[in-house]
Amino acid sequence: MVYILFVNPNVLGVTGMDKGAIFTATAFASAFGCFLMGFLANYPIAISASLGINAFFAYSVCLGMHVEWQTALSGVFVASIIFIILTALKLREKIIDAIPADLKAAIGGGIGLFIAFLGLQDGGLVMGNKETLVSLGSLHTGTTWITIFGLVITLVMMSMKIPGAIFIGMVLNTILGMAVGLIPLPTHLVSSIPSIAPTFGQAITHIGNIDSVQMVVVVLTFLLVTFFDTAGTLVGLAQQAGLIKDNKIPNVGKALIADSSTMMVGSILGTSPMGAFVESSAGIAVGGRTGFTTIVVGILFILGTFFSPLLSVITTQVTAPALIIVGILMAQSLKQVHWEEFEIAAPSFLILVGMPFTYSIADGIALGFIVYPITMIAAKRGKEVSAMMYALAVVFVIFLWILNS
């Protein structure tokens, strides 16, 4: 998981935020979330800045909607408060139970495609094209070959089931870049912890900027996107760890309190929404079954704050392979979709392709959730659709209308 300390500053840094502050905020918020999850819920599911949602924060909200990053953090803060209230009312549990397993799997796979697409772009393997929208990047660019090397070596190590393959791949990729002069050599490896002052408390001091329809939409979007991302990830990891009993997740309320509280703390410190981290699957795969796993991860996140000088050498070409690999891992959930049933396949497919094609996780979810009751009714299976899913379809129609007005 440690790569998030370098990936998150690179993603959020495009908004003008201080990368050092993001580094520290990500580490401390992650440690807080891991401790809370470990002690409160006793789950081997670590918490950190959610990939995909951080991209939504940076590219869709800040760059796309031209919202200042301070105000965007305020949006995350307000969304987290609503999140905590919904968790206390157990509404999140009810909604999680109401979402069909197929759509949950499609959400995880769609986020995976979106993250992989970002990695391909960051690494120069995919670029914009006026005629075809996107095309293969230039193979005559040195930095693109850094991405290619990192991707290949990581794919090989992952296939060989080498522990820590993603992180080792980033290290080898960085060494190659420095050896060929495409990445600057760091002056030192260890330093004092970067100041969190540039981002700390901005979420609270700028809360008054949430005074327009656009910002209300931003808050609701953060709420919806984070809700479905963390819910899907939590369900998938709990299933992997064998924690689901009678189609229910024991102590899920405590786990949801942990992630919603961490989201609030993260916004105050200065980072995008936090949530259950899909890479927790690596720890679960090698035996993690209790909160002790996440407590150790939290301690290691704190120790990681002393290695901030590596930020200067961890470029987007270095982190791009990690994003692509994470996309592959998340896409594995698609095997749970009943593709042979068209009424299920159609909304699942729209979720899957909607996220990368619209460059928005929320839009992809909206497309699938709106179509789902339509196809189920057409297949004479409308009675199988819960009242909650009908309500969510209406909510998403309104959501898309407001977002595009």
Residue-wise pLDDT for 278-306, tens only, equals: 778 777 877 789 999 999 999 999 999 99
Domain that includes residue 202, residue range: 4-332
- pLDDT attached to residue 245: 75
Distance CA 234, CA 32 (A): 17
Mean pLDDT within 28-41: 96
- Higher-scoring residue by pLDDT: 56, 136: 136
Residues forming a β-bridge with 138: none
In a domain, 46, yes or no: yes
In a domain, 370, yes or no: no
In a domain, 376, yes or no: no
- pLDDT attached to residue 157: 94
Q: Are 221 and 366 in contact (CB under 8 A)?
A: no
In a domain, 386, yes or no: no
3-state SS assignment for residue 245: strand
- pLDDT attached to residue 353: 94
In a domain, 356, yes or no: no
Number of domains present in the structure of the chain: 1
In a domain, 271, yes or no: yes
- pLDDT attached to residue 264: 96
In a domain, 280, yes or no: yes
In a domain, 344, yes or no: no
Residue 96 has pLDDT above 90, yes or no: no
Distances (CA, A) of 277 to 7, 51, 119, 328, 335: 14, 8, 18, 15, 20
Buried b (16+ CB within 10 A) or exposed e, 200-226: bebbeebbeebeeebbebbbbbbbbbb
- In tens, the pLDDT along 50-88 reads 877 898 899 888 998 889 999 999 999 999 999 999 988
